[in-house]
Structure 1
Amino acid sequence: MGALAAHNHRRPVTALVCALLLSVVGLLSARHLSLNANLVGLLPDSFESVQAIHTLEERFGAQGWVVVVGEDADPAQLKRFADDLAPKLEALPGIRYVEITRPSSFFRGHALYFLSPEDLKEVERRIDARLTWERQHANPLFVSLDDAPAPSLDFSDLEKKYAGGAVTRLSSHPSDYYLDASARRVVVLAKPETSSADLAFSTKIVEEVRGVLKQQDLSKYGPGFHTEITGSFQKKMDQQAQITRDVAVSSTVATVLVLLYLFLHFRSALSVGLVLAPVGAGLAWTYGLVAMAYGQVNLLTAFLGAILGGLGVEHGIHLLGRYLALRGEGRSSEDATREAFTHTGGAALVSALVAALTFFVLGTSQLRAFREFGVIAGVGMLVLVLAYVVVLPAVLGLVARWGWTPRASSTETTEAPLGRVIIHRRGLLTAVSVLVVAGLLTQLPRLRFDYDISSLQDQRLDSFVLDRAVNQLIGYSQVPLVVLTNSRGEEAAVVQQLQARKQQRGADSTVDFVAALASLVPDRQQEKQAILEDIGELLKRVPEGQLTPQQREQLEELRVQVRAKPFTEADLPRSVRQQFEGRGGPGTGFVLVYPSADQSNGQAMRQLAKEVRGVKLPDGRAAVVAGEAMVQADIFDTVAHEAPYILLGSTLTVLLAMWITLGGLRTALLCLMPTVVSLFAVLGLMPLLHMEFNYLNILVIPVLIGTTVDAGVHLITRLASQSSDFVRVYSETGKAICGGLLTSAVGFGALLLADHPGLNSIGALANVGFGMNLLIMLVTFPALLLVLSERKRRHRAVSPRPRDAHLLEEGRGPHRPTPSH
């Protein structure tokens, strides 16, 4: 590295032209990058849940809705608004159909057809028994020989038997409209043609719906009437806009803070430019490679610019700081460049290799977001070191030719008072540090994992909040799971199995109800109609004068139900039929599974996936179950399964890499120790700070392993070469370590400004980790090194054979003198 840096110092124009050309190519490629915040995009296409989603989109079309909510009007005006809007939305080319009414009236009117003939006979028997009892007691000549109560007309046992079924759930609401009179709110559901994963289509269709609303005279529905849009499509757009905004704000703030710190660190605008020029070139090269390899960035890699920028600036602080110190000793610019890149640059290369290997371990994850983050971050770390070797020496050579020399204030190393304190209180500081870390370790059992999916999707966005209110108004989830089948027989088999599983699990079931078109048309209807006619004859003889108003209302509803005629699929309400129609129109092949649990609850979605997976078709094949809940469950399972292996792999990879590059296991363990100690201290500190792991911020742990180890490498490397002057080395290297960790923290700390809770938690946890590592690197680790060094000197002093001790220290073992010696 020293020779290459000296070469670029001597030929600055050639090096800078090459760097500039690569940067232009990288920027031209990167300008086509797009952001993909789709949840399905977090998993590779090889996962069954992802393949099922794609199959579902081809056969079934879009999941979810564009939901228009009208608010603040009386019920009559809300219904009028829904009736007026529906045909105008259906006229839009991207809308398949619009739903404004429930099938409640139809299913209530035909409710008795969904009872078994045996249960209908039981209803007839109970009514007949009660009528017989009433006639007997109405006869003045009748004398009862016992005090038996009147036969009960309580049908709650039958209601309980059929409760939870699709028909019961679909007919339970008293209003035929999706209307909440108390909240003064009505809902209009528009089903688009294409999935909400297609952001361009989502934006287009939502804007078209907004255009229709703008053309309406909303004032005719009341003075305070207004509309809002929510649903899957609006939520995807809002999430995308939020992340894009977070990227812009976080990156800008990170850049400003890094500039401010570098100016305070070096007190020179030129020095700031010397540090940032290689970082800018390295990021341009990295994102050019990202554009060629992936073509887009995901939820995590979108922020890698700020993160890599902070990590890259750390190399510049160490390299330029060492260069300025060497110039202060009287070295020439080229000699100082060669020396800085030979030693400090070598340490930077080791730390970059170690960090890159750690990121590459993260890149083995099946979770696409983690894998791409690991690969891009690992390549970016190496590219940044290359950019420093090419750009920084060339710029230094160029400004040296122009006669620039560092100011004396830039080359002087101010003695850090803390260095003297550490020398005099090394034992006390080591003991206190051990006690504090031991105390934090006692908090490890309180460490928790947050299974709320809000780390992946911000549930606080207005569209998410309104969507939950719409779900409550509708009474069930807008986005069910879909089981793909190919015949009525397969539909019936799937419905039967899922209902059996739901009944078996009881209150622990995560399935609300299961619906298929075939299951909404009961069998044996002719047989049931004959029984209903008999019940109708009994109801004619009921003495209405003795009934309460409520009982008379129930009697009239029952008379309507027994007069209902048998029906077929064609007689089902259009709003029901079209929910089971795929892109090709009417046909078979869909069973809808509505979850009872909140889909933001990760644990519940894992249980739901277990409950619905493994359903067998009549031929023995496993049915394909599709839906975002299945994708979420796979994401959660993948993170839970891979996390221990990634953490262990990261640690072992770092240790092995440092062992090879530093030339000794003891040195490698010493360099790794501050990272390991600070990591365990952070884990113990998290419960005290009320912080929890989630599906995104857990990647901070391997990142901390890879990015904080370089501080130990720099300190050990410098102490090994200048062990006679601890305070000078500590003052110079400690300043660089502090600056490097602070700029790294700024890169991650920018995520604290993100509105997205998952990204925010990454920034919070990373900064706690960098802060703890900084404290240990500046206090605990130097004190421990001095304690170990003092013990070594004492051991040498009491050793009877210094020569043997020297040989032991070199690892060759003691020799017995021989005559030849």
Structure 2
Amino acid sequence: MGKGILRGLLRIHLRRPAWLWAALAALTLALGLGVLRVERRLDLMSLLPTDNPVVRASIEAGVGQQELLWLAAEGGEADLEAREAWAEHLVDALLTDGGVPLNGMGGEGRISPPIPVPEARGASLWPPLLAAGSLLEGDAAVTRLVTEQAYALAPMLLGDRLAPLRDPAEVRRRFQATAKALASPDPARARLAQLDPLQLAQGVSERDATRLRVLSDARAFPLKLRTGYLVSRDARFVLVPLVLDFPSGDARATSRLLLWLGQGATGPLPATASRAQVLRALAPAEGRPFAIQATGAHAIAWHESHILTREVLLSLALSFILIGLVYWIGFRTLAGYGFVVIPLLLGMLWALGLTGWVLGRLNLMAAAFGAVLLGVGDDVGILLFSRYRDERQAGRSKALALRAALLSTGPGVIAGGLATAAAFLACVAAPFPGFRDLGLTAGLGLLACMASSFLVLPALLLTLDQGRGTFAPAAGAHAALPPLRPWKPVAAAVALVLAVAGIKGLRWEEDLRRFRQQGNPALALQESLGRVLGAGLQPLAVQIPLDDPENLPRLWNALAEPLRKEGIPMPAWQVPEPELRRVLASDTWYNRTLEEAAAAGLDPTALERPLAALRRSAQDPLNVPRSLQSLIPPMKALPERGAPRGAAWKPAPRADAPAPAPATFTLPLRLPEAAQERVQPAIEAAGARMVGTRPLFKAIKAVARDALREVILLALGAVLAVVAVFGRRPRFLAMALLPLAASQAGTLGILGWTGEPLTFLSLVAIPIALGVSVDTAMNLLHRSRLEPGAAAKVARVNAVCAGTTLAGFGGLVFSGYRGLRGLGLAALGGVALALLATQWLLPWVLEKWPLHRRRP
């Protein structure tokens, strides 16, 4: 069947029909439109498997989803007034144009939801910060909210110390003392009475450890609250935290927003914004002698996206240069370089168009597909061109030379290309989006490059070959083949043993944040602010299950103990005795207390909500987390991170996807990463779990490990199936496994010897090397089955193919992004050792056990 297709293709090319070029032009135009649909998602969030419960919970806790964008003006005491004026002007502009109230309060006495300004993908002031500032200014609505929340927590914080409230005389006495304090000329005393009309604070001991810790932290808090912004106590930073309601990977929206904020947050968002425009807007300007800096997930991802885009393009350009150098070294001429590169570039355009129509995006891993296509996709053109050139130099006509290239070399090329594409397409079944998107992108890209080479390269050869230069008959075309050097298989075997030994030094690193680009200003600012605050800005929370209300106090106390050791002022959960709970939850106590308030001259209406909250918490322990959760409006539902809107292909849901998680309470924390490592085992042992940036990456480690196992097995199965169908003999299959095994040893061994850790990105080199290793091996084994001495005949072209693959990934080795650098290094090791096995070890095996059948 394959030979029939190649014969039909040969007849089409020999007739040189005009419709072929018209069809190629139409196909290129259709796929070129798909290029415009490709969305760049070059941030770490593009790799997340959102069906994992920890990953999903971490995203809902704020990792990359509605995180804060921190605008910072850095300076000293001399320009503090100017920086505060800038912050006040920005806050006023957002308050004027937006719907967030000045005190941060929304409907029903709760914190207002973020309201983006000036449109859906704009920014909002942080309502909790507005509410905190309004509390210091004595805002009545905020004061009532604080009282209500404090009384909702009272049964949990005080327990049996609420017993005096059962005595009407004691309640009357407290209300009378409150009325007297409210009339006091001392504003501090009046304010405390307003916040605590029942004087529940009397139940907290002066020596209570949690109380002392809270007071100590409040005095040592490194930031001063202002309306809508913060000032560090050393006057170094003026910070404006803003809520963004779009994913951090949307670099285009972040660009527009940063430009708008840098220009003073006036008018509509700009339609477009380049990196240069944003940097100019944030730089010092007339009327603002200081620069504006930005950090947070959106700012970090914005810098990463632009830097990665530039580095990927530079890596591709460097790879083109290196490929041309390898081509010149291998063939001692650049005359045929264009014959290989033109179909390759066309195939890469088709591949990017297919990505736009089928997938719609490029994530951080899939961004490496250009190196894959440069390194692997050109093998088809090199093998076909080399065979055609050899036949022409031997004196054969163009038709016979093309026939030999398509019908003799073509089947092996197709088998190798299909095996390589199958190795990548096997990644589509992986639950890890990084593997899945790269597999689909690179697999379709290799098929596109193979199709363009078979459709375009023969037409170029027949049209441009004039029988001169590199196509002229050569006197040495029939020179004797060099003998096999005995030291070569020994050297290849030694290299293989060394690679296997290097695997012992391999180490794993699951946190990709440690492999971000050097010189990312947003990342540097985040680290500086982390030192000022005493902890990182990354989201972190403890997720507590609420499926067992009676066990909730015990679970809380089990969590509080390890957190208190790390300096978090977590109070112990006190459980009131049953009779006290019954009294405080009764209508009788509630109505009587309101009557006593009215008798003491207080407004009973203002006490209805706080007393109702205390009553509910006494009756049901779950009211404590419910009250805190209702304080701030919940985030909108997490969108599915499947294919973008309009993409033709979306990953099918996995059969083993987890069921919806039970009700939980998410408690935000602020802990250094070292402390997170210490407390996480205790938290998990108690029955809760940590969510946030660091727990998210730890969860991905397990997902990636399982996905990698699936990918390797599927890729190996796909490669073996293609080789078995093509080879049809166990000996052929066994020989093909030799470079395949060498490629895996080289991939892992070079990382072990160089000390570069294995990461999610460098894991991609495993299926890459798996598919690439069989490419040149198939060419050698197929030729060996047809003619004797094939190893010497294909040695040069195989070396050029492998060399261009090394050059394709060589550009990644110079990347400033350590994740991509590790991927390039791992791919180099795998491809290099597979080349040695194919060039030096496999010919010795073929000499001992030949595939060529001698015919009489």
TM-score, normalising length: structure 1:
0.70
The one-letter code of the counterpart of 1:719 is S
Partner in structure 1 of residue 648 of structure 2: none
Q: CA offsets, 1:210-267, max 9 Å, x none?
A: 112969998999x8x5442222221121111112212222222223333444355445
Shift of residue 28, structure 1, vs aligned partner: 2.2
**Which SS does the other structure have where 2:823 is aligned?**
helix
Which runs of no fewer than 5 residues in structure 1 stay unpaired?
Answer: 122-154, 528-564, 571-575, 616-624, 794-805, 811-821
Partner of 1:539: none
Alignment of 1:766 onto 2:841 = no
| 1:96 and 2:124 matched | yes
Q: Does structure 1 residue 461 correspond to structure 2 residue 513?
A: no
Cα displacement (A) at 1:29: 2.0
Aligned equivalents of 2:10, 2:286: Cα separation in 1 = 76
Task: State the 1:693 CA deviation.
Answer: 0.5
CA drift at 1:605: 12
- In the alignment, residue 462 of structure 1 is paired with which amino acid? P
Q: Deviations over 1:521-548 (max 9, x none)?
A: xx99xx9xxxxxxxxxxxxxxxxxxxxx
What is the correspondence of 1:280-295 to structure 2 with a 5 Å cutoff?
280-295=345-360
* Counterparts in 2 of 1:164 and 1:769: CA distance versus 1, 3 Å: farther
> Which of 8, 15, 22 in structure 2 is aligned with 1:11?
15
1:318 is displaced (CA, Å) by 1.3
Q: Which moved more, 1:105-114 or 1:780-789?
A: 105-114
2:504 matched to which residue of 1? Answer: 445
Answer whether contact 2:544 2:664 (CA < 8 A) is retained. yes
> For 2:680 and 2:807, how far apart are their aligned partners in 1?
36
- Count of residues in correspondence between the two structures: 682
Residue in 1 aligned with 2:559? 502
Q: Cα deviations across residues 576-625 of structure 1 (Å, max 9, x unaligned)?
A: 999834579xxx99744225243999x8999799579867xxxxxxxxx9
Question: Contact 2:328 / 2:334 at 8 angstroms: preserved in 1?
Answer: yes
Report the more deviating stretch, 491-500 or 448-457.
491-500
Do residues 735 (structure 1) and 787 (structure 2) align?
no
Aligned: 1:173 with 2:221: yes
Tell me which of 3, 23, 27 is aligned to 2:28.
23
Letter of the 1:465 counterpart: A
For residue 662 of structure 1, report the CA deviation from its aligned partner: 0.8
Displacement after TM superposition at 1:735 (Å): 0.9
Structure 1 letter corresponding to 2:814: L
Deviations 1:457-499 (A, max 9, x none): 447511112112212323344343568999xx99999995774
Q: CA deviation at 1:694?
A: 0.4
> By how many angstroms is 1:763 displaced?
1.2
Whole-Å separation in 2 of the counterparts to 1:485 and 1:71: 41
The correspondence of residues 170-569 of structure 1 with structure 2, limited to 5 A, is 172-173=220-221, 176-177=224-225, 178-180=230-232, 184-212=236-264, 226-266=291-331, 270-400=335-465, 406-408=470-472, 412=476, 419-420=482-483, 422-423=484-485, 426=486, 428-454=487-513, 457-458=516-517, 460-481=519-540, 499-503=556-560
**Deviations 1:632-690 (CA, angstroms, capped at 9, x unpaired):** 34432210222223223323332232122111121111122022124224433432211
In structure 2, relative to structure 1, the CA distance for the partners of 1:783 and 1:635 (3 Å cut) is same
1:781 and 2:846 correspond: no
- CA distance in 2 between partners of 1:604 and 1:179 (Å): 31
Alpha-carbon distance change, 494 to 23 in structure 1, aligned in 2, over 3 angstroms: farther
Secondary structure of 2:294's partner? Answer: strand
Are the equivalent residues in 1 in contact too, given 2:61–2:540 (CA < 8 A)?
no
**Separation (CA, whole Å) in 2 of partners of 1:495 and 1:180:** 37
- Asked if structure 2 preserves the Cα contact closer than 8 Å seen for 1:15 and 1:391, the reply is no
Residues 266, 272 of structure 1: 8 Å contact kept? no
When residues 763 and 440 of structure 1 are mapped into structure 2, their CA distance, relative to the original with a 3 A threshold, is: closer
Cα deviation for residue 709 of structure 1 reads: 1.2
Note closer, same or farther for the CA distance 1:475–1:788 as it changes in structure 2 (3 Å cut). same
From 85, 89, 92, the counterpart of 1:87: 92
The residue type paired with residue 380 of structure 1 is G
One-letter amino acid of the counterpart of residue 22, structure 2: V
Distance in 1 of aligned mates of 2:312 and 2:550: 49
From the superposition, tell whether residues 350 and 505 of structure 1 become closer, same or farther in structure 2 (CA, over 3 Å). farther
Q: 1:37 aligns to what?
A: 42
1:757 aligned to which of 800, 818, 825: 818
Q: Distance in 1 between matches of 2:371 and 2:796?
A: 22
CA distance in 1, matches of 2:834, 2:13: 34
- Following superposition, the deviation at residue 296 of structure 1 comes to 1.9
CA contact 1:323–1:337 (8 Å) conserved in 2: yes
1:327 Cα deviation (Å)?
A: 1.6
Structure 1 partner of 2:716? 651
Shift of 1:346: 0.8
1: CA distance, partners of 2:667 / 2:210: 21
1:321: how far off?
Answer: 0.8
What is the CA–CA distance in structure 2 between the aligned matches of 1:613 and 1:117, rounded to whole Å?
24
Cα distance per residue 1:48-80 (max 9 Å; x no partner):
46765787789x982222332322335964666
Conserved 8 A contact 1:495-1:514 = no
- Report which stretch shifted further, 196-205 or 49-58: 49-58
Contact 2:43 2:304 in 1 (8 A): no
The structure-2 alpha-carbon separation of the partners of 1:298 and 1:175, relative to structure 1 and needing over 3 Å to count, comes to closer
In 2 relative to 1, CA 712–747 (structure 1 residues): closer, same or farther, beyond 3 Å? same
Q: What is the rounded CA distance, in whole Å, between the counterparts of 2:753 and 2:359 in structure 1?
A: 40
Alignment check: 8 A CA contact 2:31 2:354 kept: yes
CA distance in 2 between counterparts of 1:407 and 1:593 reads 71
| Cα distance in 2 between the residues matched to 1:48 and 1:11 | 60
The amino acid across from 2:533 in the alignment is I
TM-score (normalizing by structure 2): 0.68
1:180 positional shift: 4.6
CA contact under 8 A between 2:409 and 2:779: conserved in structure 1?
A: yes
State whether residues 606 and 633 of structure 1, in contact with CA within 8 Å, keep that contact through their aligned partners in structure 2. Answer: no
Is 1:69 matched with 2:73?
yes
Where 1:96 maps in the other structure, the secondary structure is strand
Match of 1:673 among 738, 746, 756: 738
Q: d(CA) in 2 for partners of 1:411 and 1:493?
A: 93
1:350 & 1:278 partners in 2: Cα distance? 19
CA contact (8 A) 1:37 1:298 kept: yes
Q: CA–CA distance in 2 between the matches of 1:739 and 1:651?
A: 25
Match of 1:596 in 2: 671
Equivalent pair of 2:394/2:474 in contact (CA under 8 Å)? no
Task: Please list the CA deviations of residues 369-412 of structure 1 after superposition, one character each: whole Å capped at 9, or x if unmatched.
Answer: 21121122222222222222211222222235x66674447795
Matches within 5 A, 1:657-736: 657-723=722-788, 726=789, 729-736=790-797
Tell me by how many angstroms 1:698 deviates. 0.6
Describe the SS at the equivalent of 1:176: strand
CA distance 1:208–1:693, change in 2 (3 Å): same
Assess, with a 3 A threshold, how the Cα gap between structure 1 residues 409 and 739 changes in structure 2: closer, same or farther. Answer: farther
Deviation at 1:349, TM superposition (A): 0.6
- Offset at residue 174 of structure 1 (A): 5.8
Identity %: 19
Q: Secondary structure at the match of 2:429?
A: coil
Are the aligned partners of 1:362 and 1:370 in contact in 2 as well (CA < 8 Å)?
Answer: yes
Instruction: Give the whole-Å Cα distance in 2 for the aligned partners of 1:412 and 1:89.
Output: 79
